[in-house]
Every structure is written in structure tokens, then in C-alpha cells.
């Protein structure tokens, strides 16, 4: 019950994949589930002792749940390619699987970096995700910003992993469009509509929320850029929903 399968979902992550694999070198099995990358992600991953699964991407939960079903071991550690497990968290992981204290999974907090700058505020100061869990007790749900559904108690790690969320600004924008498309599809399936509030009020409020309420101003220009980009993400989501509702591609 102490063996771990680490799972790394990928799509065109050549800049990250080798460091990601190395940061979960403690795992007994490493699975890279790739959504048919068109760069060197797979070729670079093949240089390491990993199992590679190729699967067409439909949504984040389905992709991760499929990989979990292929895992040999009871404990799962999910690592996004842009994350790195620090030595301190590695130690906590290994201690947790030996003595979980009736926990079926564990939250880990993340230190977020943007353009090589550590972001201390802007809404990321409380960023946490479930990354280590027993597969028999946990499943992903949700199309975008997927969450873990559990039938047991979750614990917390004390230390943080590093999260290098965006390689560059173009990568940031491409992710916004990917997430926006998926979120729009989710809202469309629920019959949601778009009105002036979604276009004129929500995006400006997102700037105010991230830059003022969540203290993004303390992150300087990076905080301002993140706040305005988050507003753009909201606007993109509702434009895509409006187009979907009008059956326009």
C-alpha cells in the first residue's frame, strides 16, 4: 500500500516534460498521458523510464481518470507538467503513504511563478490542489478546473510545490482560449445564456478583484498583467458561449 504511480498529463510540453519527470523520480511508476503533442514532448519523455499513453483530449477530468485507471499502484500523484515537486514535499509524500493517518488524499499548496517572478498575491496566495490520493477513494469531476471527489478525509502538506504556470505570454493566452472553450461548452450544455452583465461588468470586476481585493498591486506590474489577463479570460469565455448559443464556429 506504499507504492506510488505519478501521472503527468501533457500537450506540447517539451519545455517542461523532462524536469517534470525528474521531480517525481521517487514514484514507483510514472505515466505520461499525452494528448497527441505535435512538438518533442513524447520523444523527450521516451528518454526516461516512463509509460506513455496517447489519448485524444476531451476534458481534463476524463483524461486524468483514464490514466488513473491504468495505474499499477494504489497511491496516485498527479503532476501537471508545469509543476515541480520540491524535496520538502517529496519527503512529505513518502511519509504520507507510509502513514496516511486515515487520510485518503492530501492537498498541496503551490508557489506560482509568472515570467520568472514569484507571485505572492493576485489570488494565488491561497492556491492549493489535491495531488496525492488513493485511487479507490478519489475521482476527478468537472470539465474545467477539475476537482477531486472523495469518500474520505483529506489532509494537508506543510510545504509547497513550484508552479511555473506559463512558459511565456503566448502560452498564457493559448491556455486562456483552451480553458475558455471548455468552460463555454460546459455552460452551453447547461443552457446558460449571455447578457450585458457578462460582457460589461464581469471582466472589469475581475481586474478589481485580482488587483485590489486579492492584493495584486503588491506583485507590481506582474500583478497588473495577471489581473487584466484574467479579465480577458472571462470575456473570452462568454464570447465563446455567445457564439456557441448562436451555433457559430
In order of start, what are the domains of the chain with their CATH numbers? 4-166 (3.90.550.10), 169-245 (no CATH)
pLDDT in tens, 73-127: 999 999 999 999 999 999 999 999 999 999 999 999 999 998 888 999 999 888 9
- Pairing status of strand 103-114 against strand 117-119: antiparallel
Q: Which of 39, 43, 37, 36 is nearest to 18 (CA)?
A: 43
Burial state string for 70-81 with b = 16 or more CB within 10 A and e = fewer than 16: ebebbbbbbbbb
For residue 29, the surrounding DSSP H or E stretch is strand 29-34
pLDDT in tens, 166-208: 767 787 888 899 889 999 999 999 999 999 999 999 999 999 9
Amino acid at each position: 500500500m506504499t507504492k506510488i504511480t505519478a501521472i503527468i498529463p501533457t500537450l506540447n510540453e517539451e519545455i517542461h516534460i523532462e524536469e517534470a519527470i525528474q521531480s517525481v523520480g521517487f514514484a514507483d511508476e510514472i505515466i505520461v498521458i499525452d494528448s497527441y503533442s505535435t512538438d518533442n514532448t513524447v520523444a523527450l519523455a521516451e528518454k526516461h523510464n516512463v509509460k506513455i499513453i496517447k489519448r485524444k483530449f476531451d476534458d481534463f477530468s476524463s483524461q486524468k481518470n483514464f490514466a488513473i485507471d491504468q495505474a499499477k499502484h494504489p497511491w496516485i500523484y498527479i503532476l501537471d507538467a508545469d509543476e515541480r515537486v520540491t524535496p520538502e514535499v517529496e519527503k512529505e509524500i513518502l511519509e504520507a503513504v507510509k502513514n496516511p493517518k486515515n487520510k485518503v488524499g492530501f492537498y498541496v499548496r503551490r508557489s506560482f511563478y509568472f515570467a520568472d517572478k514569484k507571485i505572492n498575491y493576485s489570488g494565488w496566495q491561497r492556491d492549493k490542489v489535491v495531488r496525492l490520493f488513493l485511487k479507490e477513494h478519489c475521482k476527478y469531476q468537472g470539465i474545467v478546473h477539475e476537482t477531486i471527489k472523495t469518500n474520505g478525509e483529506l489532509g494537508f502538506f506543510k510545504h509547497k510545490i513550484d508552479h511555473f504556470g506559463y512558459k511565456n505570454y503566448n502560452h498564457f493566452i493559448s491556455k486562456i482560449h483552451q480553458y475558455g472553450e471548455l468552460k463555454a461548452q460546459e455552460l452551453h450544455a447547461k443552457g446558460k445564456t449571455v447578457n450585458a452583465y457578462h460582457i460589461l461588468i464581469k471582466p472589469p470586476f475581475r481586474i478589481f478583484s485580482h488587483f485590489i481585493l486579492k492584493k495584486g498591486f503588491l506583485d507590481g506590474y506582474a500583478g497588473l498583467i495577471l489581473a487584466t489577463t484574467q479579465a480577458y479570460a472571462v470575456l473570452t469565455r462568454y464570447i465563446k458561449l455567445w457564439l456557441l448559443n448562436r451555433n457559430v464556429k
